Amino acid sequence: MPSNSSEKKIQSNVAKQVTPLIVMVVFVLLTIWFILDPVGTGVPSMVVVEVDASQIDSSPIRQMLGDSPTARIGGVDQSCTACHGALLGTTRRNAPLAQHQHVKLNHGINDDCLNCHDAEERDKLALRTGQKISFKMSHQLCAQCHGTTYRDWQDGMHGKTLGSWQLQSRQRRSLKCVECHDPHAPAFDSFEPLPGPHTLRMPPEHQKNQDKIDDGKPATASPSPLRRWSWPTDKEGSGH
Amino acid sequence: MTMDPHNKEDQASDQGCQGSCGCGSGDGKVSRRSFLRVGAAALGGMAALTAALSPLRELDPDDLPSVEEFIQKHYKEMSGEQMQAALGRIEKDVQKRFGVTPEVADIKPLDGVEFVYALNLSRCIGCRKCVHACVAENNQSRSPEVQYIRVLEMPRGTTDLEQGDHHYDRPKVPSDHHYYMPVQCHQCASPPCVKVCPIEATWQESDGITVVDYDWCIGCRYCEAACPYWARRFNFAEPQIPKDKLNKKMSYLSNRPRHKGVIEKCHYCLQRTRQGQMPACLEVCPVGARKFGNVLDADSDVTQILKHKRVFVLKEDVGTLPRFFYYFDERYPRSQGGEA
């Protein structure tokens, strides 16, 4: 047994001698690692997106015509009665247009000028009842067909309201129909979207498919970063 | 190299170490070999420690909090005078950082007001104007980018957020086969982010807005993890904002410039809304999809919407009671000729 114990002693001595060496090597490697900083401890630099102030302008996208509307005829702004007063006074429906060629009527079944414009007095609009209204009151005209939307607009559920959320405030202004919609083509035009996110948690386009799960199926949409926190969906459905 | 002279001395006076130091062999004598070993390990350790502390070399003295900031009390415990002093300090700080003199105020909630937001999914076209108007209004960092609102492009027929895409990049929006869902802080009535904050640096105010005291936040990011709507943003680096883009109308709890290491989030533009104005994201929306108001007022836009429209909240099952509602109109999809 003594030989065995001395063997153990030698082994423990060797261990004693080797351990500090290993520790030293580890420390030195750590030193090199920290100083060279191969991974990088800083925040990665991202694309800086600058959006022009004109692109986030909150003013109405259309201007409403006033009480004395004008139209641009031959490069000059003319009042309606300048032409329609004595010279032209057609009350014919679906008359071919000699002027106002830029107006492209795209308003569903509402496809005639005189549905809205008054036939005799061109500075006015006309309701179905024949009552003449000014251009400023054009929302009454829209309400004849778009009743539910008009009701929503009156209650503040449709349309854009600027200025204040306080109902009594003088700054509060609900935009009229024609301040957003073109009455001749009321459907909204498509917009060019502003740049997407380049934030640290929503990295740019080329990084977004990193955590895509390859299940052999064509991706319907690129997986969102939220996937990390989601439960796996049961693709088999109601199998059990 | 530096050890050599010591080593020689050690050899000369071999009795130097009496074994009490625990460095050498058991008999109290230090051999040259063991001294070298232990000494080298100790030196390596010191070097590693120094290297580990090396990021401190990049520490800018300006990054350290000033004495006034350090001894500043919690927002709720500050007296009027102390708040004025804090606002003055913030103005100086902004002046120093950006060279711009701001107007910093502490704007309190209004009585009898509880703010609610409603967003019409039938109208949103995904133009992202709200995202960038918010950035401009609330002095968010441009680099690294911080944005409170994220807009998801969702396939029609589902509300599964997993299928949403943040990075849609079309020449024109909207797409006929998608709808768009902007997500921001929902100002929950039962906010998990407030519950998890270990130091009460974030809390819910009487008008329902959950605010953050950027001077009190320690940057633990518990709230960011707790939020089921992914609404909180952390400043990993010192926020960079061009000085000409800085919004000079600032408020203590909302859009004053933040520092590195604090959390921030949407606060319904409280510097605007507590003074009667609309939030910046609403004013810029070209389609009027966003609605905001006082839910305690029976005639307000949002009350009408809650009464008459089909509304829903995100992740209702997690019990956060959001003050942000999504609704939609009864109409055909755009791809089928979208009757207004």
**Residue of A34, A165, A192 with shortest CB distance to B48:** A34
ipTM over 0.95: no
Low-confidence ranges of chain A (pLDDT < 50): 206-240
Q: Residue B153's closest chain A neighbor by CA?
A: A221
End-to-end CA distance of chain A: 67
Task: Count Cβ atoms below 10 Å from residue A72 Cβ, excluding itself.
Answer: 11
Whether A61 has its CB under 8 Å from any CB of chain B: the answer is yes
Buried/exposed code over A16-26 (b: 16+ C-beta within 10 A; e: otherwise):
eeeebeebbee
Predicted local distance difference test score (pLDDT) of residue B21? 47
Predicted local distance difference test score (pLDDT) of residue A90? 60
Mean pLDDT of B149-162: 92
Helix B32-52 and helix A2-36, axial crossing angle in degrees, nearest 10: 30
Task: Count Cβ atoms below 10 Å from residue A59 Cβ, excluding itself.
Answer: 9
Give tens-digit pLDDT for B300-330: 999 999 999 999 999 999 999 999 999 988 7
Give tens-digit pLDDT for B223-264: 999 999 999 999 988 898 999 999 999 999 999 999 989 999
Q: How many CA atoms within 13 Å lie on the side-chain side of A16?
A: 14
In terms of pLDDT, which residue wins out, A85 or B141? B141
Q: Quote the CA–CA distance of B136 and B194 in Å, as a whole number.
A: 26
Domain boundaries, chain B: 3-58, 62-105, 115-336
Predicted local distance difference test score (pLDDT) of residue B155? 93
Predicted local distance difference test score (pLDDT) of residue B337? 52
Predicted local distance difference test score (pLDDT) of residue A18? 81
Predicted local distance difference test score (pLDDT) of residue A66? 79
Domain presence at residue A163:
yes
The total number of structural domains in chain A stands at 1
Q: How many interchain CB pairs under 8 A, A with B?
A: 224
**Under a CB-based contact definition with an 8 Å cutoff, are residues A206 and B145 in contact?**
no
Domain presence at residue A196:
no
Query: Dihedral sign, CA of B265, B271, B273, B277?
Result: negative
- The chain-wide mean pLDDT, for chain B, equals 88
Mean pLDDT of B65-85: 92
Domain presence at residue A191:
no
Per-residue confidence band for B194, with pLDDT thresholds at 50, 70 and 90 = very high
β-strand partners of B310: B328
Domain presence at residue A238:
no
Domain span at residue A137 reads 64-93+107-179
Predicted local distance difference test score (pLDDT) of residue A209? 46
Helix ranges (H only) for chain B are: 3-12, 32-52, 67-71, 80-98, 129-137, 192-196, 222-226, 270-273, 280-284, 301-308
Predicted local distance difference test score (pLDDT) of residue B38? 82
**Nearest to A224, CA basis, from A201, A192, A240:** A201
Give tens-digit pLDDT for B21-60: 444 445 667 788 888 888 888 888 888 788 778 777 777 7
Predicted local distance difference test score (pLDDT) of residue B150? 95
Predicted local distance difference test score (pLDDT) of residue B58? 73
**Under a CB-based contact definition with an 8 Å cutoff, are residues A161 and B301 in contact?**
yes
In chain A, residues 74-113 whose CB comes closer than 8 Å to chain B: 108
- Mind telling me how many Å the CA of A174 is from chain B's nearest CA? 10
Q: Quote the CA–CA distance of B173 and B14 in Å, as a whole number.
A: 85
CATH no., domain B115-336: 3.30.70.20
Predicted local distance difference test score (pLDDT) of residue A14? 78
Contacts of A45 in chain B (CB under 8 A): 143-144
- The answer to whether the CB atoms of B144 and A204 lie below 8 A apart is no
Surface-to-core class of residue B86, CB atoms within 10 Å of its CB (0-12 exposed, 13-18 middle, 19+ buried): buried
Q: Residue B155's closest chain A neighbor by CA?
A: A221
Mean pLDDT of B182-194: 97
Whether A197 has its CB under 8 Å from any CB of chain B: the answer is yes
Mean pLDDT of B113-121: 96
Domain presence at residue A194:
no
Amino acid at A214: D
- The answer to whether the CB atoms of A43 and B301 lie below 8 A apart is no
Per-residue confidence band for B336, with pLDDT thresholds at 50, 70 and 90 = low
- The answer to whether the CB atoms of B276 and A169 lie below 8 A apart is yes
Collapsing DSSP to helix, strand or coil, A161 comes out as strand
Percent of chain B with pLDDT over 70: 89
Whether A213 has its CB under 8 Å from any CB of chain B: the answer is no
Predicted local distance difference test score (pLDDT) of residue A49? 81
